[in-house]
Amino acid sequence: MTAPTPPPQVEPYIEIIGHDAALDLVKAFGGVRVYVPKDPPADSPVVKAIGMAAAVRLAAALGGESPRIPVARAWLVQHYASLQWPVPRIARELRIADFSVRRILERQGGRQVDERQTSLF
């Protein structure tokens, strides 16, 4: 499975702070507003989630604002599935039910198949 295309709501964050930091930001704050300090201190929740370098880049673009961070759950599930993580591990990482992970993967056409398991048909 190839890396999933990020949803349009996440793309601006990827452009500002990079793919990995955007993943961390969405995972930490998805669905809520988060204050982005103009000069992020080391103990800022944003710095703790994405690191100082990414927080400084985010502050340069959005400092002083409180953007609502997108949930992007399907993108996160697809990302971890593209890393060949098993469904239970994805569910634990994202704190969602395993059936939710399977449903997202099936809807996106990225249903995970264990290569060790033989086909029944």
In the chain, what are the domain boundaries? Answer: 11-62, 73-107
What distance in Å separates the CA atoms of residue 67 and residue 79, rounded to the nearest whole number? Answer: 23
What distance in Å separates the CA atoms of residue 77 and residue 36, rounded to the nearest whole number? Answer: 26
First-last CA distance in the chain: 23
Q: Is 2 helix (H, G, I), strand (E, B) or coil?
A: coil
- State the DSSP H helix or E strand holding residue 75, giving kind and residue range, or none if neither: helix 73-82
pTM: 0.84
pLDDT digits (tens, 9 = 90+) for 18-38: 999 999 999 999 999 999 999
pLDDT digits (tens, 9 = 90+) for 95-117: 999 999 999 999 987 555 555 65
pLDDT digits (tens, 9 = 90+) for 37-72: 999 999 999 999 999 999 999 999 999 999 999 999
